[in-house]
Structure 1
Amino acid sequence: MEFKLKETFENTRHASRALIELSALEINKVLLEIADKAIANTEFILAANQKDLDRMDHNDPKYDRLLLNAERITGIANDIKNVAQLESPVGKIIDHKILDNGLDISKVRVPIGVIGVIYEARPNVSFDVFSLCFKTQNACILKGGSDAEFSNIAIVNLIKEVLQNNNINTDIVTLLPADRSATTEMLNAVEYVDIIIPRGSQGLINFVREHAKVPVIETGAGIVHVYFDKDGDVKKGAAIVANAKTRRVSVCNALDCLLIHESQLQHLNSLSSELASKGTTIYADTQSLSHLDNYPKDLLNQAEETHYGTEFLANTMSIKTVSSMEEALNHIAKYSSKHSEAIVSENAETIAKYLNVVDAAAVYANASTAYTDGAQFGLGAEIGISTQKLHARGPMALDEITSYKWVIKGDGQTRS
């Protein structure tokens, strides 16, 4: 295909080669300056973000993802500072051996090179991706959605100003045009882009998987379950369900389906009381529906098959009654997107089985799935949450955006 963006890709590839020569001190200095500049330019960023918000319906589930405010910008800046404080994996020796013939062989961590990230209405991703890529001496090509166009332009311009002030080639971070043709070009840029990470809806991820010639790390949709076991603690369960569902309803680690053991249906009103106060719409199966007599009727609906296996990204969830742990495990196996899954139980044997059997990037016992996040895991920030099994799984941060190479040192050895 003809690449209209060929020169852009070439410039980023060329700029990436010089990154490996930067010292840790230089890298950390730039990251700290970007964090400070983000806070100092809060009003500038928010003005750009408001232009994007003005074009979106307040009821759109993406609205909360798109929204920036002073508190969120401070949080973003703190994440960048956390990344600066972390030790880079680049240059670490993973393995080392000296062979009988005297060859000294090391397996050493290195940057991947050029990382392309495609994302929708989440302008914070622009900061997160750059900080992680820069820390690991990778160049990045950002392809944000049109929903966040003004926000992304403002953020990348601030980053480039700091790079320019530090005499670093600004082509190490590139923001592509918001139109879809730019996505298609990057997906085919095999000579210039080493790996692509899509972040967004299942539709976006499917499109990237189906059309990319560049290798892809999938960050799948989050269809998240909490199983409230027959030995579950009601107080813990109520807090976990409310937090997992309502803390931020539009994020991928938010609860979508509560599985409840039939012996616990008597406690369903207690488990859902905070959901009711926060206006959560519920689609419940017949058994659980009959026990939600205290729940607001205008928020209560009969569940259909389509309500299981749905990532709502809104203040909406489903409830399914199960007769056994096995039924819960089968339901999760059928509908899970392998993102985050949780159990609430006081039975150690049941917990151990759940954590062992459930196939997901993150599995929880007696804790909210809201913790599936790179910063919460102590990774500084995240470039995405991988739901695949090759190369990386779960929150991806510094280690996951490096590769390795073999370094062999000899003294004239030749192979017979």
Structure 2
Amino acid sequence: MSEPAIRTIPAETGDAQALITALAQAARVAQRQLAALPSAARAAALHRAAEALRAATPAVLEANRRDLAAGRAAGLSAAMLDRLALDEGRIAGIADAVIAVAGLPDPVGQVIDTSEPPNGLKFQRIRVPIGTIGIIYESRPNVTADAAALCVRSGNAALLRGGSEAVHSNRAIHAALVEGLVAGGVPAEAVQLVPSQDRACVGAMLTANGLIDMIVPRGGKSLVARVQADARVPVLAHLDGINHTYIHAAADPAMAEAIAVNAKLRRTGICGSMETLLIDSLYPQAAALVAALIEAGCEVRGDGRAQALDPRVIPASANDWDTEYLDAILSVACVDGLDDALAHIARHSSAHTDVIVTADTDAAERFLAEVDSAIVMHNASSQFADGGEFGLGAEIGIATGRLHARGPVALEGLTTYKWQVRGSGQIRP
């Protein structure tokens, strides 16, 4: 694969602030050009990018092998290595996600509402791109493609800063995407990967107020905490996925077991993985449920009543209820009814995804109404907490806050709005 013909900015300027300023200034120029492209042109360019990524599969796999080797040498956990690993199927899935984003309805220019007061002025509120989006992420190289596709489709420039553990994979994916985007008429600077792993670049991005319009952190608790503490740029935060599944007294045992095992063990290293299982004290198959999880390869840590269900349950510490394991480890607590479950979730949930399994419709509806999380589910695995599963094509993250966007953030979450006012000579009395 040939290198895309793009203007390069030296990776080592000796000044992280100067580097980020140069990248962000270039991004702002490119974003105006990108936003002016017709929707069909942006979609077509994403198709070209997906084709280029497929063609670059051997190069991406070779880059990923380098990252995996370095990760093993550095002692990364099995869950972290799983998040990092690519194969032909995963690369094809990444390209498919780019195509899916290209086929989504374009939110830019969408009329949110209109009004016309008696003075004859015509007011419209329309969706517009946010501008330049800085994405700071760890481990998962698919974020490079997902973020690029979502930003291009919604008319935003992307400034990407991936983690050092995926540096070679990110660079290979980015090079392929830019080659396709440039062939499709998108300015190369509309999607830039910070060419330095200097941690000072993160700080420079967080303080680039006026150059970067929004920061999206995707990574561990320490990364998100640093971003929230240091940012002078608005942040769309994605906190821990401390996700609960509550097995209600009226849960179907076969369904409860299938959902619990899938929610914890399908992929333990993703943010939608269940971290705490709450079992109603009146649920009749509690011991069988815990045994099924242990026999499937999960380490179970529990409170006193959970330990009484199976001698293999390890005592839980106070910290376990607030831990995102991202591993085959699960906290289990027994609760006395729906009120007790709701209270436990209110104390310990990170407001990401919480689930109830029950055949009692009234209990389910109360749970859906009262749990204040970005995603609340009934009779489904928390592993569905994914933008693709929500029909969004891909996601730039799952926002757990309460402002602007919440849950899986895709195209609409990457827009803001402006007012257009059309008059016929009115003056204000």
When the two structures are superposed, what TM-score results if normalisation uses the length of structure 1? 0.96
Determine the structure 1 residue equivalent to 2:385: 372
Is residue 186 of structure 1 aligned with residue 205 of structure 2?
yes
Q: Distance in 2 between matches of 1:349 and 1:338?
A: 22
CA contact 2:274–2:382 (8 Å) conserved in 1? yes
SS of the residue corresponding to residue 215 of structure 1 reads coil
Are 2:243 and 1:209 aligned?
Answer: no
How do 1:318-357 and structure 2 match up within 5 A? Answer: 318-357=331-370
CA distance in 2, matches of 1:108, 1:52: 43
Distance 2:324 2:185 in 1: 44
Aligned ranges 1:115-130 → 2 under 5 Å: 115-130=133-148
2:246 to 227, 244, 255: 227
* Mapped pair 1:73 → 2:87: no
Distance across 1 between alignment mates of 2:54 and 2:90: 10
For the Cα contact (< 8 Å) 1:95–1:107, is it kept in 2?
Answer: yes
Task: Select the residue among 184, 191, 215 that pairs with 1:196.
Answer: 215
| Corresponding residue SS for 2:340 | helix
Q: How far, CA to CA, are the matches of 2:110 and 2:189 in structure 1?
A: 26
Does 2:109 correspond to 1:94? no
Query: 1: distance between equivalents of 2:292 and 2:59?
Result: 37
Q: C-alpha offsets along residues 187-237 of structure 1, whole Å, 9 cap, x if unaligned?
A: 000121000111111111110000000011111110011111111111110
Q: Which of the residues 150, 171, 180 maps onto 2:189?
A: 171
Taking the TM superposition and a 5 Å limit, the aligned residue runs for 1:1-400 are 3-5=17-19, 6-57=21-72, 59-176=77-194, 177-264=196-283, 266-292=284-310, 297=312, 300-400=313-413
Work out the number of aligned pairs and report it: 410
Contact 2:60-2:169 at 8 Å conserved across structures = yes
Determine the C-alpha separation between the residues in 1 that align with 2:351 and 2:208.
Answer: 29
Question: How many angstroms apart in 2 are the aligned matches of 1:400 and 1:9?
Answer: 21
The 4+ residue runs of structure 1 with deviation greater than 4 A are none
Residue type of the alignment partner of 1:395: P
Counterpart CA distance in 1 for 2:254 and 2:178 is 49
CA distance in 2: counterparts of 1:86 and 1:73, whole angstroms: 20
SS of the residue 2:17 aligns to = coil
User: Contact 2:354–2:376 (CA<8 Å) still a contact in 1?
Assistant: yes
Whole-angstrom distance in 2 between the partners of 1:24 and 1:146 = 34
Quote the Cα distance in structure 2 between the aligned partners of 1:342 and 1:46.
36
Task: Return the TM-score normalized by structure 2.
Answer: 0.93
For the residues of structure 2 that align with 1:70 and 1:415, how far apart are their CA atoms?
A: 64
What is the letter of the counterpart of residue 31 of structure 1? L
- More displaced stretch, 212-221 vs 101-110: 101-110
Query: In the alignment, is the contact (CA less than 8 A) between 2:111 and 2:126 conserved in 1?
Result: yes
Which structure 1 segments of 5+ residues have no match?
none
Q: What SS does structure 1 have at the residue aligned with 2:282?
A: helix
Matched residue SS, 2:373: coil
- Give aligned-pair identity as a percent: 38
Distance in 1, Cα, partners of 2:198 & 2:299: 35
Query: Partners of 2:274 and 2:340 in 1: how far apart?
Result: 19
2:247–2:256 CA contact under 8 A, matched in 1 = yes
Deviation at 1:163, TM superposition (A): 2.4
Tell me the equivalent position of 1:402: 415
Q: Residue 56 of structure 1: SS of its match in structure 2?
A: helix
1:242–1:272 CA contact under 8 A, matched in 2 = no
| In 2: Cα distance, 1:115 partner to 1:272 partner | 44
Q: CA deviation at 1:167?
A: 3.7
CA contact under 8 A between 1:19 and 1:137: conserved in structure 2? yes
Cα pair 2:355 2:377 within 8 Å, conserved: yes
Question: Superposition RMSD on alpha carbons, in Å?
Answer: 1.5
C-alpha contact (below 8 Å) 1:109/1:402 kept by paired residues: yes
